[in-house]
Amino acid sequence: MSELFSKKNKEAFLNPLGSNNPVTVQVLGICSALAVTAQLEPAIVMGISVTVIVAMANVIISLLRKTIPNRIRIIVQLVVVASLVTIVSEILKAFAYDVSVQLSVYIGLIITNCILMGRLEAFAMQNGPWESLLDGIGNGLGYAKILVIVAFFRELLGSGTLFGFNILNYDAVNNAGYINNGLMLMPPMALIIVACIIWWQRAHNKDLQEK
């Protein structure tokens, strides 16, 4: 049991949540962070979808790593990821159709998400299934964490709502001078919020600061 939760395994799970976050440190998966964070609900669904796919793909590639010929390893990884993405896409269409429509092509584009290919190539091909599972969950949650933070501020300040429920659109709030900022709903604001998160993270983590 102690080996399952060794220091190395804990780091594989926890580092992507903070000091080695795939979005703010590795700067991966930025495109979807800009595109699906205008509202909280699609951002959360996207984060969960990527987490499930990265974790499962990591485990599958880890189990197959010793049998995959080196010259076709990228093709095999793409086939595994594409199969998982198709399954997740069909599940969303069956049980969360409205969210699926909001996410549009971005669910399909998970196939080319740099986080996925990076973890499969850099970690799953060199480590066992359990370590790969933890790494996949950690990186998926790290990605989802940033999406949720960005979506929270964009929806709240841009629409005055959270999960579609009215938060700021009241006469008392409007009379105090608050007006919804439509600029928050535009993709450039997502990039600015991500930049602010990166700045905060680097300011509070000496290991990330340039020497």
Q: What is the pTM of this model?
A: 0.88
pLDDT of residue 1: 54
Q: Across the chain, what does the average pLDDT equal? A: 86
Which residues contact residue 57 at a Cβ distance below 8 angstroms, ignoring those fewer than 6 apart?
Answer: 77, 80, 81, 84, 116, 119, 120, 124, 136
User: What confidence tens digit (pLDDT) does each residue in 26-83 have?
Assistant: 888 787 777 788 889 989 998 999 999 999 999 999 999 999 998 999 999 999 999 9
Share of the chain above pLDDT 70, in %: 95
pLDDT of residue 141: 94
In single-letter form, the type of residue at position 96 comes to A
For residue 2, pLDDT over 60 is answered with no
The answer to whether residues 150 and 28 touch, using CB atoms and an 8 Å cutoff, is no
Which of 13-17, 31-35, 175-179: highest mean pLDDT?
13-17
- pLDDT bucket at 6, cuts 50 / 70 / 90: confident
* CA dist., res. 14 & res. 53, Å (int): 18
Higher-pLDDT residue of 6 and 151 is 151
pLDDT of residue 211: 42
Share of the chain above pLDDT 90, in %: 34
pLDDT of residue 60: 95
Higher-pLDDT residue of 90 and 117 is 90
Surface-to-core class of residue 185, CB atoms within 10 Å of its CB (0-12 exposed, 13-18 middle, 19+ buried): middle
| Sign of the torsion formed by the C-alpha atoms of 185, 162, 50 and 14 | positive
User: What confidence tens digit (pLDDT) does each residue in 132-162 have?
Assistant: 999 999 999 999 999 999 999 999 988 888 9
pLDDT of residue 165: 86
Closest of 186, 181, 175 to residue 159, by C-alpha:
181
pLDDT of residue 4: 65
pLDDT of residue 54: 93
* CA dist., res. 82 & res. 109, Å (int): 9
